[in-house]
Amino acid sequence: MTAVQERVVVEDPPPVEDPPRSRSRRRVTPTRWLVRLAALAAAVMLWHLLTENDVVMWLRFNRLPGPVEVAEALAAQLGTSRYYLDLGQSLVRIISGFAIASVAGVGLGILLARSRWLTDLLQPLLEVARPIPAIALVPVAILLFPTNEQGIVFITATAAFFPILVSTRHAVRALPTVWEDALLTMGASRRQVLSTVVLPGIVPGVFGGLSVGMGVAWICVISAEMISGDLGLGYRTWQAYTIVDYPAVIVGMLSIGVVGQLTSSCIEQLGRRLTRWLASEQRSQ
């Protein structure tokens, strides 16, 4: 009797390739910083050339202050206490309004996503109010609140509330139901499901809404300061326009842009720290 021997060919497993590096994990090298600085320098140089030569095409650069005039106006304002008072007042308003919007938006977004009855009760009201620009609420804020300060914080909070609410609601609804079902079958309570599944799972989506909400909040707080404020970057920028101090107007605009960028960057950095558990390619850019 002949034994039939079978040869088993054992192949080596395919080499495991390293996962692609996410853009969010790439370090900002000195070369990239140089490129960014060069882009800013080129923009300032173009601005200088257009205003210095009084270029008039489809835009009239002969009436726009140049970077030298704006730098002089900025240096003059930095030497006064009024500039820092305006800056501090705008920051207090934006932080207060954004904090209120964050708590209300995240909390209500979770409740709306997990409660049909609450959705039926509040969703129609929220959908009617959401398209109304927050700055259109200035007359209502003047009538409702005893001080301009409270009205401006209310407008700022309203502006940031809806992006945060919508992003939170969508983040909760996008969670796989199998995670919650698995915990419930193992005897977990609703509170444990909320703390171990829902809250960690919605962090990336929530921070997307927080980032958008911060940008919208800055737009509305500056607009509200221009209309009904007596301090702040928006108020001072509008006042400079009324007295035809155009270099000071540009200083106000640049100050708003820089501070707005810093606050948005803080939100993004906090979001990245809280989502380290995510795969690198899923993190926010």
Phi/psi at 80 (nearest 5 deg)?
-115, 155
| pLDDT means over runs of 10, the chain (285 residues) | 45 49 60 90 92 87 91 93 93 95 94 88 90 87 88 93 94 82 74 78 89 92 85 92 92 94 91 72 46
For residue 131 the two structure tokens come to 């398209």
pLDDT at 26: 55
For residue 78 the two structure tokens come to 């930095």
Spatial separation of the C-alpha atoms in residues 283 and 280, rounded to whole Å = 6
pLDDT at 63: 87
pLDDT at 45: 94
| 3-class state of residue 60 by DSSP | strand
Spatial separation of the C-alpha atoms in residues 284 and 254, rounded to whole Å = 26
Spatial separation of the C-alpha atoms in residues 154 and 145, rounded to whole Å = 9
Contact 210, 166 (CB under 8 A): no
Reported in sequence order, the residue ranges of the chain that DSSP labels E, i.e. its strands, are none
